[in-house]
C-alpha cells in the first residue's frame, strides 16, 4: 500500500485520525481574539481550547494553556489585557489543545494546578484511539505541580475561583472553574458551543458522562451566567440546553439502531445525526460523532 492509501483506509476506519496534527498545525497561523467578559475576567480564543484570564495584582491566572505555536500572539493578547505577570495556570483536563502550552507558561512564571488525572495522563505515554495518536510523557515543566481530587477554591485578585471535578465526562480529568463574583463559568470540554463534541473513551470519557456533565452545568448556571465552553463562542444557559438536547436526541437515535442489531458501519451509513449536521457538524465530523455515541450505548 502507498502511504496515501494507508492514510485513506485508516481515515475510513478512524474518522478522527489526523486531527491532532491538523490542530497543532493550524495554531501556527491562528488569530487570537480577546473578549472582556465581566469584572477582571477575559477570554482568549483561537489557539486550541478557550483560555480564561483573570488579571490583577496577584498576577494573571489562566484557565487552559492553548497551543505553543501561538505563544507570541497569546503573549501580545495577554499584555493588552494588563501588564500583570503570569503566575497561575489551571488545566480543565489533560488534552493537548488545553495543555500543550503548559511548558512555556510554566517557564514564564505559572504554577500549574489541575485534577490528579490530568497529571497522571500527562506523566505517562497516553494513547487516544479515536485520534489514532499516542502522546509521549510531557516534559517535567509541563506537569501540574499541584493536583486535587474533588474540589479546590482559590482566592486571587479579589476573586473566588471554585474548581470542581465532574467525575468521568469528556475524559476522567475534567474540571469546571467558576469565577464566583463575576459569575463566569469555564466548563472546559464538557461543552462545545455550536459544534459536536469530541469524547475521549481512551481516558474515561463517554456519551453518558458527557450528558451527565451537561446536566451538572445546567444545574449550576443561571440565566445571567457567562459560560466559557472548551470550543466555540462564550454562551449562555439556553445554548447549553440546546447542546444537552442535541446529545440526548442523537444518543436515543443511535441506541435504538444499535438495539436493532445494526453495526457501527450501518449506523454511520444511516446518518443518525443528519438533521443536526448543518448546525453542529463543522468541527468534529458527523461520522466521528456518530461513532463516539455508538460505542457508548
By CB under 5 A, name the binding residues for Zn ion.
95, 189
Nearer to Zn ion, 43 or 159 (CB): 43
Contact 250, 276 (CB under 8 A): yes
Smallest gap from residue 10 Cβ to Zn ion (A):
21
Grid cell digits, residue 194: 455550536
* CA trace torsion 111, 112, 115, 117 (10° rounding): -130
Q: Nearest-CA neighbor of 176 among 33, 282, 47, 64?
A: 64
Smallest gap from residue 12 Cβ to Zn ion (A):
24
> Where does the chain show beta strands of DSSP type E?
33-38, 41-45, 51-54, 60-63, 86-90, 111-115, 126-128, 133-135, 146-148, 151-156, 159-165, 175-179, 184-186, 226-228
The number of angstroms, rounded, from the C-alpha of 140 to the middle of its chain's C-alpha atoms is 22
Nearer to Zn ion, 55 or 203 (CB): 203
Phi, psi (deg, nearest 5) at residue 73: -75, -30
Smallest gap from residue 230 Cβ to Zn ion (A):
6
For 253, the 3-state DSSP assignment is helix
Smallest gap from residue 117 Cβ to Zn ion (A):
13
Nearer to Zn ion, 112 or 257 (CB): 112
Nearer to Zn ion, 103 or 189 (CB): 189
Nearer to Zn ion, 103 or 130 (CB): 130
Smallest gap from residue 115 Cβ to Zn ion (A):
13
Q: Nearest-CA neighbor of 85 among 52, 118, 111?
A: 111
Nearer to Zn ion, 60 or 231 (CB): 231
Nearer to Zn ion, 159 or 163 (CB): 163
Residue burial 42-60, b: 16+ Cβ < 10 Å; e: rest: bbbbbbbbbbbbbbbebbb
Smallest gap from residue 203 Cβ to Zn ion (A):
10
Residues 6+ apart with CB under 8 A from 67: 23, 24, 27, 30, 47, 48, 97, 100, 101
CA distance 179 to 184: 5
Smallest gap from residue 51 Cβ to Zn ion (A):
14
Amino acid at each position: 500500500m502507498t502511504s496515501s492509501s494507508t492514510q485513506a483506509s485508516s481515515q475510513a476506519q478512524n474518522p478522527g485520525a489526523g486531527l491532532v496534527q491538523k490542530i497543532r498545525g493550524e495554531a501556527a497561523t491562528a488569530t487570537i481574539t480577546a473578549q472582556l467578559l465581566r469584572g477582571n475576567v477575559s477570554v482568549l480564543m483561537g489557539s486550541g481550547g478557550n483560555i480564561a484570564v483573570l488579571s490583577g495584582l496577584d498576577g494573571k491566572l489562566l484557565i487552559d494553556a492553548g497551543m505553543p505555536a501561538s505563544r507570541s500572539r497569546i503573549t501580545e493578547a495577554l499584555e493588552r489585557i494588563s501588564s500583570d505577570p503570569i503566575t497561575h495556570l489551571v488545566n480543565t483536563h489533560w488534552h493537548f489543545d488545553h495543555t500543550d502550552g503548559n511548558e512555556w507558561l510554566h517557564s514564564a512564571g505559572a504554577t500549574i494546578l489541575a485534577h490528579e488525572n490530568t497529571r497522571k495522563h500527562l506523566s505517562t505515554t497516553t494513547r487516544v484511539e479515536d485520534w489514532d495518536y499516542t502522546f509521549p510523557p510531557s516534559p517535567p515543566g509541563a506537569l501540574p505541580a499541584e493536583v486535587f481530587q474533588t474540589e479546590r477554591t482559590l482566592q486571587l485578585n479579589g476573586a473566588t475561583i471554585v474548581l470542581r471535578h465532574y467525575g468521568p465526562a469528556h475524559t476522567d480529568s475534567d474540571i469546571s472553574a467558576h469565577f464566583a463574583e463575576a459569575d463566569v463559568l469555564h466548563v472546559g470540554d464538557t461543552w462545545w458551543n455550536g459544534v459536536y463534541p469530541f469524547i475521549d473513551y481512551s481516558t474515561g470519557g463517554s456519551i453518558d458522562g458527557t450528558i451527565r456533565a451537561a446536566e451538572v452545568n445546567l444545574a449550576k448556571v443561571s440565566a445571567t451566567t457567562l459560560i466559557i465552553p472548551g470550543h466555540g463562542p462564550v454562551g449562555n444557559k439556553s445554548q447549553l440546553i440546546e447542546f444537552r438536547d442535541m446529545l440526548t436526541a442523537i444518543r436515543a437515535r443511535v441506541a435504538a439502531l444499535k438495539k436493532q442489531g445494526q453495526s457501527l458501519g450501518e449506523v454511520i451509513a444511516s446518518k443518525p445525526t443528519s438533521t443536526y449536521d448543518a448546525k453542529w457538524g463543522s468541527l468534529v465530523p458527523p461520522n466521528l460523532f456518530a461513532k463516539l455515541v455508538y460505542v457508548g450505548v
